[in-house]
Structure 1
Amino acid sequence: MNLSHFRTVGMVALPLALLACGKRDDDRNLDSLDNELVEAGSGGTNASDPAMTSALHDQIMVDPALAQQSNADSVRPPAQPYSGGVPPVGIAQSGGGTTGAATSETIKSTPAPATKDCPNCQAARDSLTLGALASRQKDKSTSGCAGAMRYSARWAEKLPADVPLYPGARVAEAAGADTSACHLRAVTFSTSAKLQTVLDWYYTRVTNGGFSAEHQSDGTEHTLGGTRDRDGGAYVLFLTGRRDGGTDVDLVANNGG
């Protein structure tokens, strides 16, 4: 064996010896702690913590009566997926059936719009709330009371007798004002009845009640509005046909109650 071979073996052995000598005291302490924990968990003869050994090896006790009560108040999954469908408009209707026009009155046909202009239609499109819609009306007592309106579904039950809620209508929103100077109501509702049926029904009611009736339309939207001289009452209806054949309506009436 030549000298170069001994040099090579020496170069390999020297770093190993240095590593062995250079192991830190804290590493040895960690090794000792690990061994103690292993012995304690295994129940060996050298276990230094009887409490830990007992906790790890004793049998778990279970009360069958309490186990049956586990998650008693938890929310259980549904039996089938939830539906995102919207109920049909007529599902909550009553009294008037599908048209909602049950009445002893002889229904009159609404005259055709006098012109193709429909300023009220544009006012309805520009109004985001019932209050804004009321404020845009030509009747000064109606527009002047718009700022006093408050929102609540109960206003739908306080419409004037001559401009009532359409039979079987589904109310979406309602607002109103009752002060010494203001008796204003506004309601948004829908019905499964066709637009012309709703229009004719209201035309019959308001004209029989002494109101004037001006019909406007831009082809897709219709309005019917008028006033009554004997008490200063006023009303306006905004009607739009629905894709399902029904009608959406905004109704503003003054001097209700």
Structure 2
Amino acid sequence: MDIRALKPVSLVLAIAALAACGSEPADAPAEIVVQDPLLARALNDPLMVDPDLSWRSEANAAVAIRDGHPLPLFAGSEDAAARAREAARIELLEGGQIPAVPLAAGSTGSAALGGLTTANEIVEALDARPDCIGDMDGRLGWSTQMPETSSIMPHGMVQQAAGVDQGTCVVRVVRYLTAADAADVLEYHYAKADRARFRVERFDAPEVQLRADRRDQALAVHVREGPNGLTEVDVVHWRK
């Protein structure tokens, strides 16, 4: 074949290609974006920015968690305590008059939990289905799966959570911090348990706590002084 015979054809193709480039509309990429919804979303969605990622260091975490991160620890203040108390009381008042917290029983309650750092230790200390410990995991997401009876106070800062929900093993463990004082914490958790028809007892030794139970479930709330002027709270709910 004569190579010279291909030259006119090549020239025509080259001219056509140049003409095509010259006639390409300026907004051609937008057409591509419209045709590709995933790319359109990636380019057009608002940019999400976290202005403070210092929590990743866990420098202020009361309890370090292997899976997930505790909420950052803020210092307590009278203003923060008032906001937490007001939010808690507003929530409780939606259910009617707030019941009065009973006086402490003369006997001693469960062992103090303040010196414990793992959910396994807490469950064992309370005898809260220790046979389920092997199936528990420490995801912070368990704090959002607490029964209404055992929900944490508004403005609470979750530091540790663990749980299991397999067959008869149903256990929830949450440690959180709040700017509210111990009396407000007790009022909140007592009202929740009382309205759910739990039989509730209060103890002030070896640390302030509520023990509640009914036929099929049990609940323990332990309250103590926490870091930075905050109140530390352990909530454990389990099925008997």
Instruction: Name the SS of the counterpart of 1:98 in structure 2.
Output: helix
Q: Which residue among 169, 183, 192 is the counterpart of 2:179? A: 192
What is the CA–CA distance in structure 2 between the aligned matches of 1:135 and 1:245, rounded to whole Å? 28
Partner of 1:240: 224
Instruction: Name the SS of the counterpart of 1:165 in structure 2.
Output: coil
Partner of 2:210: 224
**Deviations 1:209-240 (Å, cap 9, x if unpaired)?**
01111111127x211111121xx111101100
Q: After superposition, where does 1:1-257 map in structure 2 within 5 Å? A: 87-89=74-76, 97-99=83-85, 100-101=87-88, 102-103=90-91, 104-105=94-95, 106-121=97-112, 124-125=113-114, 127-139=116-128, 142-218=129-205, 221-229=207-215, 232-242=216-226, 245-255=229-239
Q: Is the 8 A contact 1:120 1:216 kept in 2?
A: no
Q: 1:244 to 1:144 in 2, by over 3 A?
A: same
What is the CA–CA distance in structure 2 between the aligned matches of 1:233 and 1:116, rounded to whole Å? 22
Q: 1:120 to 1:107 in 2, by over 3 A?
A: farther
What is the CA–CA distance in structure 2 between the aligned matches of 1:235 and 1:227, rounded to whole Å? 6
Q: 1:89 to 1:224 in 2, by over 3 A?
A: same
Counterpart amino acid of residue 103 in structure 2? A
Q: 1:227 to 1:116 in 2, by over 3 A?
A: closer
Instruction: Name the SS of the counterpart of 1:150 in structure 2.
Output: coil
Instruction: Name the SS of the counterpart of 2:99 in structure 1.
Output: coil
Q: Is the 8 A contact 2:101 2:186 kept in 1?
A: yes
Q: Is the 8 A contact 1:120 1:223 kept in 2?
A: no
Structure 1 ranges of 4+ moved more than 4 A: none
Counterpart amino acid of residue 111 in structure 1? P
Deviation at 1:125, TM superposition (A): 4.5
Q: Is the 8 A contact 2:114 2:224 kept in 1?
A: no
**Deviations 1:49-74 (Å, cap 9, x if unpaired)?**
xxxxxxxxxxxxxxxxxxxxxxxxxx
- Report percent identity of matched pairs: 22
Unaligned runs of 5+ in 2: 1-58, 61-72
Unaligned runs of 5+ in 1: 1-83
Counterpart amino acid of residue 98 in structure 2? I
> Alpha carbon RMSD of aligned pairs, Å?
2.7
**Deviations 1:75-95 (Å, cap 9, x if unpaired)?**
xxxxxxxxx9963257xx8xx
Deviation at 1:147, TM superposition (A): 2.8
What is the CA–CA distance in structure 2 between the aligned matches of 1:240 and 1:154, rounded to whole Å? 24
Counterpart amino acid of residue 123 in structure 2? A
Q: Is the 8 A contact 2:75 2:228 kept in 1?
A: no
Q: Which has the larger radius of gyration?
A: 1
TM value normalised by structure 1: 0.56
Q: Is the 8 A contact 2:223 2:233 kept in 1?
A: yes
Deviation at 1:247, TM superposition (A): 1.3
What is the CA–CA distance in structure 1 between the aligned matches of 2:190 and 2:198, rounded to whole Å? 9
Counterpart amino acid of residue 108 in structure 2? D
What is the CA–CA distance in structure 1 between the aligned matches of 2:228 and 2:183, rounded to whole Å? 14
Instruction: Name the SS of the counterpart of 1:213 in structure 2.
Output: strand
**Deviations 1:180-217 (Å, cap 9, x if unpaired)?**
12111100100001100110111111011011111111
Q: 1:109 to 1:126 in 2, by over 3 A?
A: same
Q: 1:116 to 1:245 in 2, by over 3 A?
A: farther
Q: 1:133 to 1:199 in 2, by over 3 A?
A: same
